[in-house]
Amino acid sequence: MAGIHPYQRTGAESERMTMQTYTMTNEFHGTTATVRVADDGTISKDAYRRARRKLCGISGCRCFGSSASGKSVLPLLQAEDTGDGRVRLNFDA
């Protein structure tokens, strides 16, 4: 029997949830990453890691610490762990 993914919403909760896409651009490297953001502003930790790696996969690079990466990556950089396997992006950044 197939189980329910731990972050899969079911029933009435899934009907209320909407997903929006958000595309970030690292202007320093010229790379982009698109994530699907839940209506509560969260993405999975895996999506968070994939987006960071896609925007800059260079070990030791400090592009995220400078303004050269651009403002569209700020919600990802200032994200907070929700403690349940998800990460809340900070769109107020």
Q: Go through the chain and tell me how many residues it has.
A: 93
Per-residue model confidence as pLDDT tens digits over 53-90: 999 999 899 898 888 888 889 998 999 999 999 999 99
Report the chain's C-alpha Rg in angstroms. Answer: 15
**Residue with structure tokens 């029997």?**
1
pLDDT score for 15: 55
Section 3-24 average pLDDT: 63
pLDDT score for 68: 82
Section 41-55 average pLDDT: 95
Name the residue ranges covered by the structural domains of the chain: 25-88
More confident residue, 16 or 51: 51
Q: How confident is the model at residue 5 (pLDDT cuts 50, 70, 90)?
A: very low
